[in-house]
Amino acid sequence: MADAALRLKSLFEQLLGTPIRVRIRAWDGSVAGPPDAPTLVVRNRRALRRLLWKPGELGMARAWVSGDLGIEGDLYAALDAMSELVWERGDDARTLAQALRDPEVRSAVRGLVKLGGLPLPPAPPPEEVRRSRAHLHTKRTDKRAISHHYDVGNDFYEIVLGPSMVYSCAYWESPDGTLEDAQRDKLELICRKLELTPGQRLLDVGCGWGSMAIHAAREYGVSVVGVTLSQEQAAYARKRVAGEGLTDKVEIRVQDYRDVSDGPYDAISSVGMAEHVGAERYLEYAGVLHSLLKPGGRLLNHQIARRPHRDESSYHIDEFIDSYVFPDGELAPIGTTVTQLERAGLEVRDVEVIREHYALTLRRWVVNLEAEWARAAKLAGAGRARVWRLYMAASALAFERNRIGVNQVLAVRTPDSGDSGMPLRARTWN
């Protein structure tokens, strides 16, 4: 009699010490669990081996990306329920050893080994980045990491991002609005915060597919230099610039921000780029931007933040994100970011929290991806498409639950005279 699902349900509950909130469908056709719950589809025994060899979210992610695990029903409800199965985060051997001291845990693990078998560990899916654990953030390693994430194919990103081609948190007036309107409003908000005027020079660090540069040049008459490390982004952005008739206003470069030497600029926008900089390099990043601004110039730094830990030395980088999505990406608490910007000589004048806006944005991107799933999987590969679906849906939940946030920080290179050029009443851009 087919009973793998019932055995899995029992073993998972023994392991967790609580009833699971998903329905399980196993490789033998058996089903077990709450009938009205989303369904976790365990397509083969290899899925169990992935979880056993790498307990935690990385093992779960490998099973998902390879197609060994699937979900039927509400994706967000399933991910919320499946978070309980991530019973050991990371690969801390001491944490695992402590868990195995519990007789119930040892018994459950033995049961899973018997059910799934335990030969050599399955090879990770090919989308996983192979590299050392050191986050060096040299120009060479940063270029490789950016290429992994952004050189997936412009056609794929057109599906996910929609016509706006903006890969950062939108700014929503209403949850019922369109993604394109919300992204336009975000670009407009940044331009107003920077108080752009015709004839100024703007540096857009991490310019992506050129949307910010085009909007600033077209709507505010500024001259823009956009820099990116992605060859595919640059080619796409240059084509868009030419199509808008803005080649005299916008220059797109494949260049590391550390190599920009033609300052000073009146303003700098850095939108969704600073997450790639790394903790060890952040003060250098802030210092470079400070040096590229003229006195009185403004910086708009739009960046995802994590919640601070009581013991920051215990912080571990998310293994799934690091291995499949943003290699070498690092998140910092907003307080750390503000401190580093000010250590570099900038004066922070405003911080706007837009956490809920990113949750709305990510859910729209997931809708876009799912609506053209077959084409997206053909363009990027099924494994890579599954990575993006998991990453975006899980991230939406993380923003909604306040596990991570996103902030716009407006800073000024205040001259020695102390005249920041800022209005007496803040947020005149609203």
pLDDT at residue 274, rounded to an integer: 94
> Beta 23-25 vs 31-32: how paired, if at all?
antiparallel
Residue 419 lies in a domain: no
Residue 132 lies in a domain: no
> Beta 23-25 vs 39-42: how paired, if at all?
parallel
Same domain, 203 and 279: yes
242 to each of 159, 162, 206, 239, how far by Cα in Å? 22, 20, 19, 5
d(CA 87, CA 16): 7
Same domain, 217 and 340: yes
Residue 246 lies in a domain: yes
pLDDT at residue 264, rounded to an integer: 97
Q: Is 118 in contact with 52 (CB distance < 8 Å)?
A: yes
423 to each of 44, 141, 180, how far by Cα in Å? 63, 41, 30
pLDDT at residue 165, rounded to an integer: 97
Q: Which two tokens stand for residue 8?
A: 């899995």
Domain with 354, as residue range(s), is 139-412
For the chain, what is the largest distance between any 2 Cα atoms, rounded to a whole number of angstroms?
A: 83
Q: Which two tokens stand for residue 326?
A: 């943003």
pLDDT, mean of each 10-residue run, the chain (430 residues):
83 81 92 93 91 80 92 92 56 49 70 76 74 61 60 88 97 97 98 97 97 98 96 96 98 97 97 92 97 98 92 67 74 96 98 98 98 95 91 93 96 96 82
Residue 242 lies in a domain: yes
Same domain, 270 and 169: yes
Residue 191 lies in a domain: yes
Q: Which two tokens stand for residue 47?
A: 């899925």
Domain boundary among 116, 150, 178: 116
pLDDT at residue 2, rounded to an integer: 66
Q: Could you count the other beta carbons within 10 Å of the beta carbon of residue 157?
A: 23
CATH code, 175 = 3.40.50.150
Same domain, 152 and 261: yes
d(CA 153, CA 151): 5
Place of tokens 């309980």: 84
DSSP assignment of 108-156:
HHHHHHHHH--SSPPPPPTTSPP--S-----HHHHHHHHHHHHTT-HHH
Same domain, 254 and 311: yes
Q: Which two tokens stand for residue 64?
A: 């998902």
Q: Is 326 in contact with 276 (CB distance < 8 Å)?
A: yes
Residue 425 lies in a domain: no
Same domain, 282 and 356: yes
Same domain, 188 and 157: yes
Q: Could you count the other beta carbons within 10 Å of the beta carbon of residue 290?
A: 18
Same domain, 90 and 189: no
Same domain, 32 and 90: yes
Question: What is the pTM (predicted TM-score) of this model?
Answer: 0.89
Same domain, 325 and 377: yes
Residue 133 lies in a domain: no
Same domain, 158 and 290: yes
Same domain, 27 and 175: no
Q: Which two tokens stand for residue 225?
A: 């230099």
How many structural domains does the chain have? 2
Q: Is residue 91 helix, strand or coil?
A: coil
